[in-house]
Structure 1
Amino acid sequence: MSDTYVECMIARKSNPFYVAVKVLLYVLTALCVFLVILGGAAIMLIPAAILGNLIYFWVPGFDLEFEYLYLDKEISIDKILGRRRRKKVRVIDLNKVDMIAPEFSHELDAYKDRGIKKLDYSSKDPAVTKHIFVYNGEHGTELICMEPNADMLKCIKNVFPRKLREY
């Protein structure tokens, strides 16, 4: 049996708010360290340490990527934070997927305004075509937004031709 393997990396578009927060944290940390060195204000070590920890642990979450791995009728979605920490987000069994359609397809009209949970694992770039996976898993019906590449869509179509809608 030959298993098909396709890998796809998607970088989340950076939010201007996160860039501003990142710059503000760096400036405040540098200011606190400068005050400790220049004025000998040892009390400023506490805010400098707190801000340094925020920069080390919180700021890498601003740089977010998703990796999709297609293997043996499953798509594994991993979240990569700051290009150094990886976390498995979920595994989608394509046998439990009802339909895969482009984001603005009329095939998805039956699922709109029904209060179905929508999970977004895309770059949030409006110029890129996203696909919605209608998934019936252990948590009920979920709409999963992804940006699979052409190779992944081709592999899915070869295995499940009726589930993939291309219009």
Structure 2
Amino acid sequence: MDSYIEQLVEHKQDYRDFLIKVVMILSIFAILSLGVLFGLMVNAYLMVVGFFIAVFDIYFCWYVISGRRVEYEYTVTNNNLQIDKVMAKRRRKEVLSIDIKKIEGFDKITENRLNAKKCNKVFYLGTYEDDPSQHRFIVQTKNYGRIMVVFAPNEKVLNEIKKHLKPEVKIEMLKAASQK
């Protein structure tokens, strides 16, 4: 029987996003102020030019700020997990597509059983980096080598992933659960 489950997770904005918003808004005021100042001091033509530059800056700021809204879509189809990055609901990029049976280790992020030092790269594809409800797994990929993926699945996605894990990984998870 085929199975298909998907989930959309919104990435929480952090201080970097706030800083980008502040810089963008300050750039609008700076361009408007300089346009008015040069228009009064030199020529009224420069005020009009400054106004048009400010309009383009407003559009640019809107584009950058709205582009910082990121969601991750987890799709489990049979034994395949695909994670897509959706930026501002206008662009979609496939981040990762793996066979669940190739997962070497799987745990909740608070369990600290998996070692990130043995991985080439760590992907944070969840709500935010320090969220204790997230899970992680290690997998070998063609493009990146051995990677760790941190993500925030709901119970339906989590149960579907657990169905397709290798028996060794399931046993390791059961041992860890029994030691609590």
Question: TM-score if structure 2 supplies the norm length?
Answer: 0.75
Q: Quote how far apart the aligned CAs of 1:124 are.
A: 0.9
Deviation larger for 11-20 or 41-50: 41-50
Aligned to 1:5: 4
For residue 98 of structure 2, what is the amino acid of its counterpart? I
Q: Quote how far apart the aligned CAs of 1:30 are.
A: 5.6
- 1:63-93: CA deviation from partner (whole Å, max 9, x where unpaired): 1111101102111111111122222212121
Q: Quote how far apart the aligned CAs of 1:57 are.
A: 3.6
**Contact 1:3 1:72 (8 Å CA) reproduced:** yes
1:42 lines up with 2:16 in the alignment: no
Match of 1:151 among 156, 159, 168: 156
Q: Computing the radius of gyration over CA atoms, which structure comes out larger, 1 or 2?
A: 2
TM-align CA RMSD: 2.8
Runs of 4 or more off by more than 4 Å in structure 1? 33-40
1:69 lines up with 2:68 in the alignment: no
Q: Which 5+ residue runs of structure 1 have no aligned equivalent?
A: none
1:125/1:48 CA distance change after superposition, 3 Å: same
Aligned to 1:133: 137
SS of the counterpart of 1:107? coil
Alignment of 1:51-62 (within 5 A): 51-62=57-68
**Contact 1:13 1:125 (8 Å CA) reproduced:** no
Question: TM-score if structure 1 supplies the norm length?
Answer: 0.80
1:157/1:61 CA distance change after superposition, 3 Å: same
**Contact 2:7 2:154 (8 Å CA) reproduced:** yes
Cα separation, 2, equivalents of 1:143 and 1:74: 17
Q: Which 5+ residue runs of structure 2 have no aligned equivalent?
A: none
**Contact 2:101 2:164 (8 Å CA) reproduced:** no
1:117 lines up with 2:89 in the alignment: no
Cα separation, 2, equivalents of 1:21 and 1:37: 25
Q: Quote how far apart the aligned CAs of 1:134 are.
A: 0.7
Match of 2:104 among 98, 102, 111: 98
**Contact 2:107 2:135 (8 Å CA) reproduced:** yes
User: Quick check: which one's helix share is greater?
Assistant: 2
Aligned to 2:94: 88
SS of the counterpart of 2:130? coil
Deviation larger for 25-34 or 68-77: 25-34
Among the aligned pairs, what percent are the same residue?
21
1:60/1:143 CA distance change after superposition, 3 Å: same
